Structure 1
Amino acid sequence: MLSATRRPRRSAVVRRRWTAALGAVALVAGTASLAAPASALAVAAAPVDFATHCVPPPIAGIPPIDGTTTAEIAVDSHAPKVGDTVTVTYTVAKPAAANPVDLALPADIMTPTGKVTLGGAQSGSLTVTGPKKNPPVPGKGAFPPFSMTGTFTVTAPGSITLSPGDYNIHTSYIMELDTPCTVITPPAPVSETITATNQPGANERAIRLATASGKPGDRVTVTGTKFTPLASITVAGRAGPAETADKLTFTANATGGFTARLAVKDKATTGIVAYEGAAWAAESGAGPAAYTVIDDTPLPENSQKLNISVAAGTLSMSQAGDAVAMSAVNFGNGGASTGDLKTVTVKDFRGGPAGWSLTGKVTDFTGPGGRIDAGALSWTPVCATKQGSPSTCAAGSAGVVGSAGASLASTPNGALTGGEFTVDAKVSLNVPAFTPPGAYAAVLTLTLT
């Protein structure tokens, strides 16, 4: 079932969340997620020791083992921003448990999984998993070191601590056996700390006119807020997509505000903009604010002047439903579960120079048997432009969506942009073989800016 919510960030940002339901699919026993490549890691942390309670498989006929685990946590970014995805590697250098049976274990039959505990500015835990890879282990011999990886999304600024948590050693040789090890006194000592910061804010520059109309040559008072402090500011008249000769340049005050009085002489002026630097850019400007020049030229006898105005609208999106049904896959085979995103309609009725971008990111698929990594979802976008639209829509590239996100569609900046567009996409989830049967679901969030 898909649910939709809308969360505007100023008038140009719209969010939609979709939950994709996936039926009867499965993953290799003991595997809870797909790992990110360890080669992305840049900094290793110092190891920590913690008391661990390990329970051998019942077939071993031996009691639980209380021992010490030596482990460390490493991350690929020590200074992420809110919304970034951080890759975490949990390395167990010295497991507390050993091979519980007399039988020697061959290479590449161990699959570790575990948890990493978050603290400080962000609480919770993340699942990590390792590859099915190990050297041979003699009967009753110590388990070798292993590493597991996973990801989490930063949701709050500040210092975030990472501590090693419970882990499980799954062996697939003759029979499937698990040796779960839990932290006796959680949480374990902190092994790594990162410092998260807020993302740079959206363009919040704004202007307000003291009056919306005037005669040719009248001065209009323009008030600006949230520009760069002490930046060079230009206030100019706009005749549709083009600037007029009515222009005034000055310096913003120490708080990024200003008040200017612009003489508007061009009778074609339909709006007023303000921007930083030498030329207009949507990222460093505000407006246009609607303004009408009242033509006071005397009319010929027995004539009438007809005046109209075209009001600027907003950037918005809507979707043709909130549930995406994806095809089932068979246990033991896995493969591609496919479906179609519900059509998204984008309406850009602002009538300005700025284009738009529609992006999406997805959470992990979760179900009764664990999860399927967000990186297993890919899409092939398609975008169509309604006839007569000033802009032309471009579909995003086919490829992985993932938790980091990808482009679904966009239009470029231009002298005059706008129009109506429909966006679709074929989606495909690569389901690992032997994923436990059941329904799996994920949330796809679309952001329009």
Structure 2
Amino acid sequence: MGQKPQKPQTPQRSQRSRSSRGRRRLALLGAAVLAVTAGGALTAPASAAAAGDVDFPTHCVPPPIAGIPPIDGTTTGRITVNTTSPRVGDTVTVTYTVVKPAASNPTDIALPADIMTPTGKVTLGGAQTGSVTVAGPKKNPPVPGRGTFPSFSMTGTFTVTAPGAITLSPGDYTIHTSYILELDTPCTVTDPPAPVSETVTAADNPPANTRAITLSSASGAPGAAVTVSGSDFTPGATVTLAGRSGGTQTADRATVTADAQGNFSGPLTVNDRATSGVVAYEGAAWSPDKGAGPVAYVVLDDTPVPDGSQKLTTTVKAGTLSMTQAGDTVSLSAVDYGTGGASTGALHTVTVKDFRGGPAGWSLTGKVTDFTGPGATIPAGKLSWTPACATAPGSPSTCQAGSAGAVGSAGATLASAPDAARTGGEFTADARLSLDVPAFTPPGSYSGVLTLTLT
């Protein structure tokens, strides 16, 4: 018997078959963007591995739609920082580079550029424990069919809270793709923590100097004794009382001992006519970190009046050190959810008036709280500023702007004027503000309080 001829397929059925295959191909394309395979090759030769590169086993889970089981592969990671010698309170910027992902394109379909957005964690150990959230930009070169996924980098920050050696190890990472479908491929460290890739050694921040002195009198004839009273010195410390003329110590000198509460009271005989202020300090020499003052003191002119003459005197009254602000609310620019970045603005102008007279300078500092919002917090260390200051004409002092950098909860200097033989004047201080908002911070309004202190 002959074989029965097959009935030709109708054009309509052929069209449905092609359409069905196309849909399956489309679904596979979307799911396979980050399907994982073990042992993918680097985009650069393996011999080019940089110092700090570490290998660690990784368990990666492809999107369920790909129909591919989890794969255990090896990731090569590298951690770098902007400083390896921070101080407690400083903000450290961390970059986590996945040199060799444990993932490759398992299909023959080429993937376009700029579809991959990585996020991850860096593990802290040693003197400070915890993790740092890092994120990278949506940027990648095209990936050919069956090609390896490229290296990518993610950045984040953390605030140093303890002195000592802090280790940084690569942690889990996730690659999100936005091509046809929105898909995630999480890769976790199989045996955490991964090897240490970088170490920073943090120095302790000395506590704020709250030492202070007062004088029993603001003036006296040569040879008169003025009582110097102090507080917040080191209990039991030997404290030197000394005359100052601008930045130079005069011949007037005495010592006292602080009591168990760090207080003292003792006389300083002032003979040197050059003395224009009085300081007190611990240690062998004056140090602003362990001293207080200068407080203005005037040595009176006691030259005898010649016969037939009249001595005329007047008084210039000392004023105060004060500041005013041009406003108390700053609205920073908005940023986009998922992208984050710099939220910028300008500090309201602060006017400083120093009408005290005498040799003492001043310092204007600021510190900020965390920014709180709907279900999330932006750390205080994310706020940085670029200070500027100006001196009004005729002012004896000249103000100096503080350094650009993070403000944080530990604080930073906005502006200052140094000690000198004669100080005073009017000054204005400003700053450009920038808040580094992490990517995917929940939408909403976030606020923190910046407190300025003039001393």
Match of 1:235 among 231, 242, 249: 242
Residue type of the partner of 1:154?
V
1:122 is matched with 128
Cα RMSD, aligned residues only:
5.9
- CA separation in 2, counterparts of 1:87 and 1:354? 37
Q: Could you tell me how far 1:122 is from its partner in structure 2?
A: 2.4
Q: 1:209 to 1:44 in 2, by over 3 A?
A: farther
Equivalent of residue 56 in structure 2, options 41, 49, 56: 49
Letter in 2 for 1:84: D
Q: Partner of 2:251 in structure 1?
A: 247
* CA-CA distance at 1:148 after TM superposition: 2.6
Query: Residue 438 in 1 paired to residue 443 in 2?
Result: yes
Paired with 1:58 and 1:201, the residues of 2 have a C-alpha distance of 54
CA 1:295 to 1:424, structure 2 compared with 1: closer, same or farther past 3 Å? closer
Distance 1:248 1:443 in 2: 48
CA offset digits 1:276-317 (Å, max 9, x no partner) = 99x9996896433465778999999xx9x999795685x665
Question: Superposition pairs for residues 132-281 of structure 1, below 5 Å?
Answer: 132=138, 134=140, 136-139=142-145, 141-183=147-189, 186-199=192-205, 216-219=222-225, 235-236=242-243, 247-248=251-252, 263-265=269-271, 271-273=277-279
Contact persistence 2:254–2:268 (CA under 8 A): no
CA contact (8 A) 1:384 1:423 kept: yes
Q: Deviations over 1:219-255 (max 9, x none)?
A: 55779977xx999x893366xx6989x72479999xx
Change in 2 beyond 3 A, CA 1:411/1:163: same
| SS across alignment from 2:156 | strand
> 2:44 maps to what in 1?
none
Work out the CA distance in 2 between the residues paired with 1:363 and 1:372.
9
Structure 2 CA distance for aligned equivalents of residues 90 and 176 of structure 1: 23
Please state whether the residue corresponding to 2:162 is helix, strand or coil: coil
Matched, 1:324 2:330: yes
What is the match of residue 21 of structure 1? Answer: none
Contact preservation (8 Å) 1:369, 1:436: no
Tell me the secondary structure at the aligned position of residue 105 of structure 2: coil
Q: CA deviation at 1:47?
A: 1.4
Letter in 1 for 2:251: K
> Is 2:86 the partner of 1:80?
yes
**CA separation in 1, counterparts of 2:388 and 2:80?**
39
User: In the alignment, is the contact (CA less than 8 A) between 2:159 and 2:381 conserved in 1?
Assistant: no
Which residue identity is paired with 2:66?
A
**Residue pair 2:400, 2:416 contacting (<8 A) in 1 also:** yes
Q: Which one of the candidate residues 399, 405, 420 is aligned to 1:414? A: 420
Is residue 278–residue 296 contact of structure 2 (8 Å, CA) maintained in 1? yes
Change (3 A) 1:112 1:324: same
Shift of 1:137: 3.5
- Paired residue for 2:40? none
C-alpha distance in 2 between matches for 1:84 and 1:334: 22
- CA distance in 2 between counterparts of 1:121 and 1:284 reads 28
Point out where structure 2 has 5 or more consecutive residues left out of the alignment: 1-49, 258-263
The one-letter amino acid paired with 2:278 is: I
Structure 2 distance, partners of 1:210, 1:272, is 12
Equivalent residues of 2:241, 2:268 under 8 A apart: no
The 1-side partners of 2:114 and 2:157 are apart by 24
- Return the letter of the residue paired with 2:128: Q
CA distance in 2 between counterparts of 1:395 and 1:80 reads: 22
Kept after mapping to 2: 8 A contact 1:72/1:90: yes
Mean CA deviation greater in 58-67 or 373-382? 373-382
- For structure 1, list consecutive stretches of 5 or more residues without a partner in the other structure: 1-42
Structure 1 residues 149 and 353 mapped into 2: Cα distance closer, same or farther (>3 Å)? Answer: same
Q: 1: distance between equivalents of 2:94 and 2:341?
A: 27
Q: How many angstroms does 1:326 deviate by? A: 3.5
Decide which structure has the larger Cα Rg and report it.
Answer: 2
Between 420-429 and 363-372, the greater mean CA deviation after superposition: 363-372
Greater strand proportion: 1
- After superposing the two structures, state which structure 1 stretch, 156-165 or 341-350, moved more: 341-350
Q: Which of structures 1 and 2 has the larger relative contact order (alpha carbons within 8 angstroms, sep 6+)?
A: 1
1:128 CA displacement: 2.0
Q: Report sequence identity in percent.
A: 64
Aligned to 2:42: none
Conserved in 1, the CA contact under 8 Å of 2:252 and 2:272? no
Once residues 88 and 310 of structure 1 are traced to their aligned partners in structure 2, the CA distance between those partners, rounded to angstroms, is 54
* TM-superposed deviation, 1:116: 0.9
Deviation of residue 104 (structure 1)?
A: 2.7
